[in-house]
């Protein structure tokens, strides 16, 4: 989601270079990279916690569909009253 490409990273670094003094530049750049990593890891954890119940739901849905198909097949062979 917050995936910075090469050109975006260069643009951010250039803007920082203009704003931040040269002696603080490496530390500021390191802090920004750590910040984006934390955000990216946080969103990854959220996506994993949301996708686990959805996977379980899909499994249950598939089981219900299989059961419904087997009931339909068993009812096809019987005459209606």
Task: Give the tokens for residue 38.
Answer: 């934390």
Q: Confirm whether 16 is domain-assigned.
A: yes
Is residue 20 pLDDT above 70, yes or no? yes
For the entire predicted model, the pTM comes to 0.51
Q: Confirm whether 81 is domain-assigned.
A: no
Alpha carbon distance 45, 26 (integer Å):
28
Q: How many residues does the chain have?
A: 81
pLDDT digits (tens, 9 = 90+) for 35-63: 988 988 998 898 888 888 888 888 899 99
Q: Confirm whether 29 is domain-assigned.
A: yes
Q: Confirm whether 21 is domain-assigned.
A: yes
Q: Confirm whether 79 is domain-assigned.
A: no
Q: Confirm whether 1 is domain-assigned.
A: no
Q: Confirm whether 37 is domain-assigned.
A: yes
Residue 34 sits in which domain range? 6-74
Indicate the number of domains in the chain.
Answer: 1
Q: Is 7 helix (H, G, I), strand (E, B) or coil?
A: helix
Categorize the per-residue pLDDT at 1 as very low, low, confident or very high, splitting at 50, 70 and 90.
very low
- Whether 26 and 63 have beta carbons less than 8 Å apart is answered as no
């Amino acid at each position: 989601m917050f995936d910075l490409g090469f050109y975006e990273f260069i643009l951010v670094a250039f803007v920082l270079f203009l704003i931040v003094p040269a002696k603080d530049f490496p530390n500021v750049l390191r802090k920004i990279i750590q910040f984006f990593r934390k955000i990216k890891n946080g969103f990854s954890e959220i996506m994993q916690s949301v996708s686990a119940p959805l996977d379980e739901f899909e499994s249950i849905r598939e089981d219900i569909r299989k059961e419904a198909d087997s009931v339909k097949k068993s009812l096809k062979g019987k005459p209606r009253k």
